[in-house]
Amino acid sequence: MLNRMSEILKGGNDVQAQAKKKSFGFVRLGKRTVVTLGAEVKRELRLADGDVFELCVEDGKIILEPKKLIPADQQWFWTEEWQVGEREAQAEIEAGKVKHFDSMEEFLTDLGKEDED
């Protein structure tokens, strides 16, 4: 039993996972299968009451990963196709491929010039 507990506390042999792992002690499975994370974990991960988690079981371990829900009317923005365009636009901004205008008239005049080219 003591060896098993020691193995659980060590968290296996994955050296990479150990580097990222930070223990916050023990939690107990309560009535109605409730687990309380504690204020330290909440602060460490900047969690708020009502946050949503994905629960996975991997190699006998319970993994809770904080998630942010996206409203249905904003899901288009997070599609891979749209994100490719966002990355392209950001690259152009960082490369200085932008123009600044002092007025709408100046903008529209410049826009018309591109149609002529």
Statement: residue 2 has pLDDT above 70: no
- For residue range 24-83, what is the model confidence (pLDDT) as tens digits? 889 999 999 999 999 999 999 999 999 999 999 999 999 999 998 999 999 999 999 999
Residue 115 CA: distances (Å) to CA of 43, 95, 106: 54, 23, 15
Among the candidates 33, 50, 67, a domain finishes at: 67
Q: What is the pTM of this model?
A: 0.49
- Confidence at residue 75, expressed as pLDDT on a 0 to 100 scale: 93
Q: What is the CATH number of the domain that holds 56?
A: 2.10.260.10
Statement: residue 87 has pLDDT above 50: yes
Contact predicate 113/99, CB 8 Å: no
Statement: residue 6 has pLDDT above 90: no
Can you give the residue range of the structural domain that contains 58? 2-67
- Confidence at residue 5, expressed as pLDDT on a 0 to 100 scale: 42
